[in-house]
Structure 1
Amino acid sequence: MYVTEHHALSGAPRELEDRTEITDTLLRFALGQDLRDEDLFASCFTEDAELDFRPAAARWGAAPPLMKGRDAIVTTILSGFSGRVDTTHQVTNPRIAVTGDTARLTALVEAQHLLTADHDTHALLKNRYDVELVRDGGRWLMSRIRIENVWYTGDPAAIFTDSNRPGGVT
């Protein structure tokens, strides 16, 4: 499930370029959310991408749907945050395994969510990302993202709207 190979680089220049571009894909994912930049955020997904936040959300009893398709992912996440939540994401510990035109990425992402109208209502999450990517010409795109929560603190109401919380309660 996670990338655990004992080497970081085999020495090939193409591999170094791939690893840089793969890491950049996850950085576009994070910054696209933080800036509410639809084009930047969409630029990291395949058209048929899947984003599974259910394992992370289950930690505090939420049940969001599996998000399928680039447009649905972008719309769901950005519309859920726009005007409601301020976010910052930090990406660390990327581990990458490239096999031809596919790759796996494991990373830790810390996500801070604060209600725009009340920064006292906030949630801080440390999540493990398991990402499958495909090469698309000279760039890499995420085809599948699975997010598991390691720990969180604060109020999950700073993440989800009423419709994604159990019983519709924030």
Structure 2
Amino acid sequence: MNLTAEQKLEIHELLSRASYAYDTRDTDMLASCFAEDATMSMRIAGGELAGPFVGRDAIMELMAGSMAQQTDVRRHVVSNLFFLAGAAGIRVNSFLTLIATENSQTALLTTGVYQDTVVQDEAGNWRLSARHLDLDNAY
């Protein structure tokens, strides 16, 4: 599937919206970024695989638990996106730079790589159907 520039922009916006929603703790917006049957997994610094978490509800439970433990202000910066066609949807690879501010101090927490699969729903909206995150180090 060849994506148009407009479709690529829509997908880029989806990934940006998911990051913004997490950082502002807008769980409704964040949930809307995932397909109902989405999956998510994560590996930190080459360690054990966490997940997969299956379904939007399980993913949101993971996200809400993470948010509840955080006392800092997070900024997920997604960059270097590129697109690949796949049998299950469109694959999007990108870099994550995670920055946090707490007590007037801003620091780089970690970097990582997202490997996402996105699909369009019946209304034509792009949703994350699979997300895997490899973090370069624990924080």
- The counterpart of 2:93, out of the listed 62, 87, 106, is 106
Cα distance, 1:25 vs. partner? Answer: 1.3
From 27, 45, 51, give the equivalent of 2:16. 27
2:111 corresponds to 1:126: yes
Quick one: distance in 1 between partners of 2:89 and 2:51?
26
- 132-141 or 92-101, which deviates more: 92-101
Q: Is 1:40 equivalent to 2:25 in the alignment?
A: no
What is the 5 A alignment of 1:23-102?
23-53=12-42, 55=43, 57=44, 59=45, 61=47, 64-82=50-68, 84-85=70-71, 86-98=73-85, 102=89
Report the CA distance between 1:46 and its aligned residue: 0.6
TM-score normalised according to structure 2 size: 0.80
Does the aligned pair in 2 maintain the 1:101–1:135 contact within 8 Å?
Answer: no
Question: What letter is aligned with 1:77?
Answer: M
State how many pairs are aligned.
136
Give, in whole Å, the separation in 2 of the partners of 1:17 and 1:103.
14
Deviation of 1:21 after TM superposition, in Å, equals 1.0
Q: Which has the higher strand share?
A: 2
> What runs of 5+ residues in structure 1 fail to find an aligned partner?
1-9, 157-170
What TM-score do the two structures reach when normalised by structure 1? Answer: 0.67
- Alignment RMSD, CA only? 2.9
- Structure 1 segments of 4+ aligned residues over 2 angstroms from their partners: 60-66, 82-86, 97-102
Deviation at 1:75?
2.2
Q: Distance in 1 between matches of 2:100 and 2:19?
A: 12
Structure with higher Rg: it is 1
- Rounded to whole Å, the distance in 1 between the matches of 2:18 and 2:134 is 16
Name the % identity: 24
